[in-house]
Amino acid sequence: MKEDSFSYDTFLSPFTWRYGSKEMRNLFSERGRRTSWRAIWLELARAEEQAGLLSKEELAGISAGAAEKNIDIAKAHELERKIRHDLMAELRVFAEQAGKGGGKLHLGATSMDIEDNADALIFRNALGLLLTRLVNCLEAAKEKIVKYERTVCMAWTHLQPAEPTTLGYRFANYAQDILVDIEFLEMVRDHFLKGKGMKGAVGTSASFEKLLGKGRAKALEEKVMESLGLDYFDVSTQTYPRKVDFLLLACLTSIAASCHKFGLDLRVLQSPAFGEMSEPMEELQVGSSAMPFKKNPVAAERMCSLARLVAAFPSVAFMNAANSILERTLDDSANRRVAIPEAFLAVDECLMIYERLMRGLRVYPVMVEKNLEKFGPFAGTEAVMMKMVEEGGDRQQLHELIRVESFAAWEEMMKGKPNPLAELLSRNAEIAAKLKPAEVRQLLDPRHHTGDARERCAALVRDAIDPVLSRHSKRVGIRGKVEY
């Protein structure tokens, strides 16, 4: 959006210019919404002309008036201030532009025949854009899985050093989250996201039955929806089931959770206490207004912040679905105008940040190795215990012996000394009687304790990631620009 297309003298949503892509903003723009309305009115008019309700001359006027260039938002807003109905205001502006056909516009329809079908079309296109973003993120994650499948690092549970893993395996977990999101998105798009259809005020098609005759409303509905390329619900109230919005926002929240998980992990690992990786930094990027040396993970923090906002929206959709009394109440309308577009725009921004972070991630091997050397030997204590049992030792006694020596090693480390575990175990008389110091060090080497992480990385890429990337190969490479 060009900055001169809006005024800084009034409140602007951050999504107006700061967060989200131009493509996503266009989908949810006022012009885009009204364009969709007019497209549905036109298809309804075409079907009604074929049914004998409109003349060809009337349809020609409607078709000419439906052009996007005729949208006059200022005039529609001026009229809306008088009649207090946004769709009727647009309808009257359109009707004036449609010539003789203007008097037949919206014939038999209710507002939600237009708005709900338009929303479904917009949501479907928005999901398509997010699917592209997800595929790009998956491709970026795959690059890191392959690159770091052999890089051993410490794994952390409860923010405490646990056993060794590989960086590739950690990235595989992020990729797996994205795979789940892709499957969830496709399920929502292909199975749950439908239009209302053309069913009139309470979903019974009574108005269309009166216009067309008994039993003919269904055929008109099928014609309109087929021309829109949109599946629709067999039954409805005045609206499509608001449960759809809940499923839609649950899907967006799932994506947001994946973004937050990756962003939070990166923020932790960028802290000097870990220091293993950081987000990409621009050459002129300022980390703090007060502290020039700061390298704050601002992009990851922004992604987490927006993801946290998205997580709040499904509760709104739940209330809309659960509290829609009988055939319809209007208390969903205002919050849907905010919650759904902002959820899409926030997730759009999150995924652009995610891809940029994943592709530009800076890994510091020296710090990875330092943490591995410091904490990794503890993971080998089980291997020492098993070897000693093979040599005739008592497993329970050995467990206590190693526990005592391990805690002693921790105490020394907390004094700032290197990890002395190998030395302490090698000096223990019972262990020294069975194992040489070199054998102890080899057993404690964390590089021998990553299990089948490498094989699982390869399997995930081969069996899950590559098939998805291949299926969506045309989507890869369509990337948005993250400016803030």
* Mean pLDDT computed over 30-59: 97
At 379 the pLDDT is 86
How many Å apart are CA 410 and CA 418, to the nearest integer? Answer: 10
Catalytic-role residue among 5, 7, 158, 289 = 158
Give per-residue pLDDT as tens, 91-103: 999 999 999 999 9
Given a cut of 60, whether residue 479 has pLDDT beyond it is no
Joined together, the tokens standing for residue 301 give 């923090």
Mean model confidence pLDDT for the chain: 93
Q: Is 85 a catalytic residue?
A: no
Give per-residue pLDDT as tens, 161-202: 889 999 999 999 999 999 999 999 999 999 999 999 999 999
At 287 the pLDDT is 62
Give per-residue pLDDT as tens, 193-206: 999 999 999 999 99
Q: What is the pTM of this model?
A: 0.92
Given a cut of 90, whether residue 362 has pLDDT beyond it is yes
Joined together, the tokens standing for residue 138 give 């998956």
At 475 the pLDDT is 64
Given a cut of 80, whether residue 482 has pLDDT beyond it is no
Q: What are phi and psi of 229, to 5 degrees?
A: 70, 35
Site of tokens 């932790």: 268
Number of alpha carbons in the 13 Å side-chain half-sphere of residue 330: 3
Residue of 129, 28, 124 whose CA lies nearest to 480: 129
Q: Is 158 a catalytic residue?
A: yes
At 284 the pLDDT is 60
Catalytic-role residue among 13, 55, 288, 473 = 288
Q: What are phi and psi of 432, to 5 degrees?
A: -60, -25
AA letter at 114: I
Give per-residue pLDDT as tens, 281-320: 776 665 655 665 567 899 999 999 999 999 999 999 999 9
At 473 the pLDDT is 84
Domains (range + CATH), the chain: 13-104 (1.10.275.10), 111-196+236-363 (1.20.200.10), 371-448 (1.10.40)
